[in-house]
Structure 1
């Protein structure tokens, strides 16, 4: 009930303040497992995604978002868990495995899983090379991948910090991508790269972003 109430309140405020333009929402299947894969330009992307998609969307987030103390910490933990975030410790060698297994469990339950293949927020608004977690999930579970693009959210919260600003936002969904032809090939690194690149190509088409054939984490480090 808390999720429904929060979505109703925030959804109303979002429609009044931002008047988001949502395109292709009917591309998301009404039932069964589905992967939503898109670009990641700022902190509020997951909030907008959860509020515009009718089905509950689960996504991975840093465990630090729900481990804070005091009133602020408890409010943050309540908010993020209510909108569908599943906290995972992504530091260390086992972080990626934990995130992957969590996504697989969600999809095996017939739910919607949201993922940002870039692995982190874009440091400069461009679209960076996708990591193969999205393709592993698609091939392991058989779930279709619906690509999406967040457009304008970087203007709402530049740099992912500060109080959100009022600025136009568009959320665009593409046609589902079916990778059944690669069934049983989830350990083939060439197939995983090909599937990931196909997903990112669709995200680029939807977002209109410039593509950079480099991981965003490497760009940030540089």
Structure 2
């Protein structure tokens, strides 16, 4: 009788032990442990926020948002007259838009311990004004070796802004640089020369306008006519 009870106890103990081991084998892994082990299998998500447009000669900040833990950031310029002022390796970057900015693309890559993500962001040009057009008027015809006078005429007939004059070889500026009235000395042996003008308006300074004109000579000039 005692031997039978002893055998029963042994069988009961083995049954409990086997059942306990089975429970441990099929016990599901915790969510946090699963996420950590399989994080590299799931593509990371990231996005860039900031203004969708920018003016020339302005600055702006853009921020990369991601679920990665303690990522390393790498900002770059894909296209456009854009330069990085600061923050090229942080979540927020400061950008400068140059005088020739007409739209561009920026990119940021966020690199985590197990995976990474990259995002591009398109920035359009913000045009807030329309500059006046410019033309050159010659006051009177002369011959080589004489002085010529030119006016810069804007489409709105304004006097404002800066007038940047240049002349080709064969002539030299005597006075008027920076103003709308230009006086030019021509060289006797030069013949034909050209005058160029870039006008920067005070009301629309980010969009200078330009034009060019060949000097007009009198028909009876020695060595002429000059075309």
Same-fold call, TM > 0.5?
no
Between Structure 1 and Structure 2, which shows a larger proportion of helix residues? 1
Per the normalisation by structure 2, the TM-score is 0.22
Which structure exhibits the higher relative contact order, with contacts defined as CA atoms closer than 8 Å and separated by 6 or more residues? 1
Greater gyration radius: 2
Between Structure 1 and Structure 2, which shows a larger proportion of strand residues? 2
